[in-house]
Amino acid sequence: MTKAINPRSRKVRILATLGPASNTPEMIAALFEAGADAFRINMSHGDQESKIPVIAAIRGLEKRFGRPTTILADLQGPKLRVGRFAGGRVMLETGATFVLDRDTAPGDATRVELPHREIFAAIEPGARLLLDDGKLVLRVVEHDADRIVTTVEVGGALSDSKGLNVPDVVVPMAALTVKDRSDLAFACEQGVDWIALSFVQRPEDLAEARRLIGGKAALLAKIEKPAAIERLEEIVEMCDGVMVARGDLGVELPPQSVPPLQKRIVEVSRRMGRPVVVATQMLESMIKSPSPTRAEVSDVATAIYDGADAIMLSAESAAGDWPIESVAMMNAIGEAVERDPMHGERVHFTETRPDPTTADALAEAAKSIARTVSAKAVICFTTSGSTARRIARERTPVPLLVLTPKMETARRLGLLWGAHAVHTRDVESFEEMVAKSKRMALRHRIAAAGDSVVVMAGVPFRTPGSTNVLHVVRLIGDELKGHDG
């Protein structure tokens, strides 16, 4: 029998990053109980071997709590860094000339190695180079195949191997490094549910990752480069989900540009039916403090009001002093925002027009019917998860119970707004569909005797992409009887 657990009372999902502060089985279970719906494993830190027990611990939650778990593996991506200095650290003076070159000799206050051939070919006079997360700013004066001469516009201390951002040009680098390829293969072997691709600049960047994944996981594009904004809709079309990675986006763009871009990315993702995650510095002060600032709470609430599918904790849950409290705070904010009578109106500021398909038409109708007949839930049968994504795109005000015979599908839906996924046997007839809908609604406590639910499925059954049935079902008390696997 399918073990039943109550759905979360909120619809926005919480994605918690695991790390030194939270990667034990006990802490992972505590984060789940505090409200984490999905877990992010950052492939930038630690070796692959150390990830195996973490993944096993996350999967162990399924037996304990009776709910599919969701794992996102976040690839590091191509990191641009300068070389090393003779003394380990130099001071760049504002107005001085500073050269980046191909010479491997240790640098000084006048020059340093830049071990990235692609930048020399792509850079243009007038372009900015940002060092150490944007703390230092260089302006390109001239360049050739081996040297980039710059003027220091914002000076400061610069030490070995600090990061470099190139916001003004598209650098023709492969989206997947050798490390990324290895980490991607490892993550797929371990059965993770989502692969996040970092520093996406163009839709072509996603093609190779999708080929290597080979359908074993869903692909999430991290939007953190200005170049990605210029081709945003093409990128969203090419992926299965999107992350607003505000950290690097805020380095390469003026800080005041990030909020409107966040809203735009969320709007485009929602309109195109892709789950969207808002990430980075959401409760940053809770790395060291047991409570957030009021501004941080407002930031999280804004993402929820905008209709983001998920909100993410980074260092707060991975390396902070208060990981459980951080998740609990996000959970509390989500519940409070969704209790606001205005929340339902605000999440519909984004107009999500249905595509001219039967499935989209039925998903839109399900929302309208649920409201008209005061249904307690929408229930959908799905193999691939596409029906659930169509319904979630409508931001239906009642819970969404997703019944699927594929555990892989159930797990991937952990980033989808409002979805409570249940892994269960498929149905073979209309009568069985109705009976199972009633039993599962009662068992998972999304409806009670006398309530109505809206059911969506496809006939013939067991045929992906055949959604063509919408049915209103009324529950009676003795329908909890029966067996489901």
**pLDDT over 60 at 483, yes or no:** no
Residues 234 and 114 placed together within one structural domain of the fold: no
**In the 8-state DSSP scheme, what is residue 460?**
S
Q: Is residue 230 part of a domain?
A: yes
- In angstroms, what CA-CA distances link 293 with 29, 297, 324? 26, 7, 17
Identify the pLDDT of residue 348.
81
Average pLDDT, the chain: 92
C-alpha angle 446-448-449 in degrees, rounded to nearest 5: 155
Q: Using one digit for the tens of pLDDT, what is the confidence trace for 407-459?
A: 999 999 999 999 999 999 988 888 999 999 999 999 999 999 999 999 998 87
The length of the chain in residues reads 485
Q: Is residue 299 part of a domain?
A: yes
**pLDDT over 60 at 159, yes or no:** yes
250 pLDDT tier (thresholds 50, 70, 90): confident
Residue of 222, 367, 438, 439 with catalytic role: 222
C-alpha angle 179-50-325 in degrees, rounded to nearest 5: 110
User: Quick count: other Cβ atoms within 10 Å of Cβ 9?
Assistant: 12
Identify the pLDDT of residue 22.
97
Q: Using one digit for the tens of pLDDT, what is the confidence trace for 44-67?
A: 989 999 999 999 999 999 999 999
Residues 388 and 246 placed together within one structural domain of the fold: no
Is 280 annotated in the active site?
yes
Residues 264 and 408 placed together within one structural domain of the fold: no
State the DSSP H helix or E strand holding residue 157, giving kind and residue range, or none if neither: strand 156-159
Residues 425 and 373 placed together within one structural domain of the fold: yes
Q: Of 128, 145, 165, which closes a domain?
A: 165
Count of domains for the chain? 3
24 pLDDT tier (thresholds 50, 70, 90): very high
End-to-end CA distance of the chain: 5
Q: Is residue 485 part of a domain?
A: no
Q: Is residue 353 part of a domain?
A: no
**pLDDT over 80 at 140, yes or no:** yes
Q: What is the CATH number of the domain that holds 472?
A: 3.40.1380.20
**pLDDT over 90 at 5, yes or no:** no
Helix (H, G, I), strand (E, B) or coil at 479: helix
Euclidean distance between CA atoms 360 and 391, whole angstroms: 8
Euclidean distance between CA atoms 355 and 270, whole angstroms: 13
Strands (E), 216-302: 218-223, 241-245, 276-279
Q: Is residue 6 part of a domain?
A: no
**pLDDT over 50 at 400, yes or no:** yes
Residue of 17, 70, 150, 280 with catalytic role: 280
Residues 422 and 454 placed together within one structural domain of the fold: yes
Q: What is the CATH number of the domain that holds 114?
A: 2.40.33.10
State the DSSP H helix or E strand holding residue 436, giving kind and residue range, or none if neither: helix 430-443
Q: Is residue 119 part of a domain?
A: yes
Q: Is residue 2 part of a domain?
A: no
Q: Using one digit for the tens of pLDDT, what is the confidence trace for 334-378?
A: 999 999 999 988 888 777 777 788 888 999 999 999 999 999 999
Q: Of 346, 366, 385, which closes a domain?
A: 346
Euclidean distance between CA atoms 239 and 200, whole angstroms: 11
Residues 186 and 257 placed together within one structural domain of the fold: yes
Residues 433 and 414 placed together within one structural domain of the fold: yes
Q: Is residue 324 part of a domain?
A: yes
Specify the amino acid at residue 256: Q
Identify the pLDDT of residue 352.
78
Q: Which two tokens stand for residue 245?
A: 């990675």
Residue percentage of the chain with pLDDT more than 90: 81
1 pLDDT tier (thresholds 50, 70, 90): very low
209 pLDDT tier (thresholds 50, 70, 90): very high
Residue identified by tokens 């993702």 is: 269
Residues 31 and 58 placed together within one structural domain of the fold: yes
Residue of 8, 11, 40, 390 with catalytic role: 40
Residue of 2, 24, 59, 81 with catalytic role: 81
Q: Using one digit for the tens of pLDDT, what is the confidence trace for 296-334?
A: 999 999 999 999 999 999 999 999 999 999 999 999 999
Task: Check whether the bond before 460 is cis (ω within 30° of 0).
Answer: yes
Is 81 annotated in the active site?
yes
- In angstroms, what CA-CA distances link 103 with 99, 110, 143, 166, 305? 11, 13, 15, 20, 51
Residues 115 and 146 placed together within one structural domain of the fold: yes
Q: Which two tokens stand for residue 368?
A: 């309208």
Q: Which domain holds residue 129?
A: 89-165
Interaxial angle between packed helices 178-189 and 48-65, expressed in degrees from 0 to 180 and rounded to the nearest 10: 30
Q: Of 147, 165, 183, which closes a domain?
A: 165
Q: Region of 184 please: left (phi>0), alpha (psi -120 to 50) or beta.
A: alpha
Residues 135 and 180 placed together within one structural domain of the fold: no
The gap from C-alpha 376 to its chain's centroid, in whole angstroms, comes to 28
Closest alpha carbon to 376 in 362, 406, 397, 354: 397
Residues 193 and 335 placed together within one structural domain of the fold: yes
Residues 203 and 161 placed together within one structural domain of the fold: no
**In the 8-state DSSP scheme, what is residue 172?**
-
